[in-house]
Amino acid sequence: MMPLSNPLQWCLLVGATLLFTALFMVAGLPGATLLGPMAAAILLGVRGASIELPKRFSWLAQALTGGVVARSMDVTILHDVALHWFPMLMALSTMLAGAVLVGWLLERSGRFPGGTALWGTMPGAAPAMIAMAGDFGGDPRFVAVMQYLRVIVVVVLASLVCHFLLGSVPVPIGVPGAVPGAVPAPSASVASTLALVAVALAGGWAGTVTRLPAGPLLGPILLGGTLNMTGLVVLDSPSWLIAVAFTIIGWTTGLRFRRELLRDLVASVPLMLLSTFGLVAMSLGSAWLLVTLTGKDALTAYLATSPGGLDSVTVVALGSAADVPFILTLQTLRLFGTILMSVLLVRFLRRR
């Protein structure tokens, strides 16, 4: 255990976050404002840190991220669905089928408690997968590690892919020109910033009370996207506000990796990583399918099919030159598809 008071631990976390973020920025990695805090939190978490963020901070970060995403949505997202519905359906089916296949192979290995591997390999909706695993005889600890380990691997790989495809000049996060279709501006106005915060809070609340999957994130996206597409409001935000939201997401994910949890599951980590890379490899097939059938660029296709969390992939996409609305569309469809597939799995397991 880390023999330090909570204030000192927070100071270490902030200092390590600034250091890692600066290093990643110097290295030219898009998504540095997420990867830096995540790396710092993992380091402290495995060293026995006792600090954790209240759930309301995670809620706020997701809501603000949803607001940031909503500002990049326009009528082209509806055009994408209408124009590319068949390739999107094919890619979505391939992604979900791949997750079920990998989960089934892990189940057959006998290294995981019954039902655990299937929940752990389902892409997205991690809290729901963890809860359902506990209700149906699986081990939620394994599911939690599998889900969040995959998120970290996918974020790192996605950032590296962005770096490779973008070259040595990454598009900085928070710059209006980083979002396709955005109008460059010197800075966010007070009115547009307040509008984004208001939409984020209202949409997050609505998504939560209606029990929408990933409600704090999807609520602001749906509300803000609708308002933005109709031109009723102008949404924008300063870079520091985006960085705060991404930092909270990175800390929340990283601090879950405690020493005692990793010690209990260390024997299974190689197999978990193998399954993660298997899912990533299958997502490459889905990405190739999108490139072939839609003509989208490779970076957009890869991020759209990456098997990470919606918020994490969105963070990386916002820091790249990819087509954010298209990525958001397919990732959101995959999230709902994951929930639906999980319901079908629950019904299947109940009949066994």
In this prediction, residues 45-56 reach a mean pLDDT of 86
How many contiguous H segments (helices) and E segments (strands) does the chain have? Answer: 15, 0
Residue 106 has pLDDT above 80, yes or no: yes
Report the percentage of the chain scoring pLDDT > 90.
10
Contacts of 313 (CB under 8 A, 6+ apart): 154, 155, 158, 303, 306, 327, 331
3-state SS class at 224: helix
CA–CA separation, 347 and 339 (whole Å): 13
CA–CA separation, 70 and 67 (whole Å): 5
Residue boundaries of the structural domains of the chain: 6-351
pLDDT of residue 192: 85
CA 13 to the chain's CA centroid: 21
| 3-state class percentages of the chain: helix first, strand second, coil last, to nearest 5 | 75, 0, 25
110 compared with 41, residue with greater pLDDT? 41
Tokens of 164: 């490779």
CA–CA separation, 271 and 144 (whole Å): 15
- Domain boundaries 6-351, CATH class: mainly alpha
pLDDT category at 176 given cuts 50, 70, 90 is very low
Contact between 20 and 36 (Cβ < 8 Å)? yes
pLDDT of residue 104: 85
CA–CA separation, 302 and 296 (whole Å): 10
Closest CA to 107 of 131, 151, 137: 137
pLDDT of residue 345: 72
Q: What is the pLDDT of residues 313-323, one digit of tens each?
A: 877 787 777 88
Average predicted confidence (pLDDT) for the chain: 79
Helical packing angle, 215-230 and 55-70, nearest 10°: 30
pLDDT of residue 1: 54
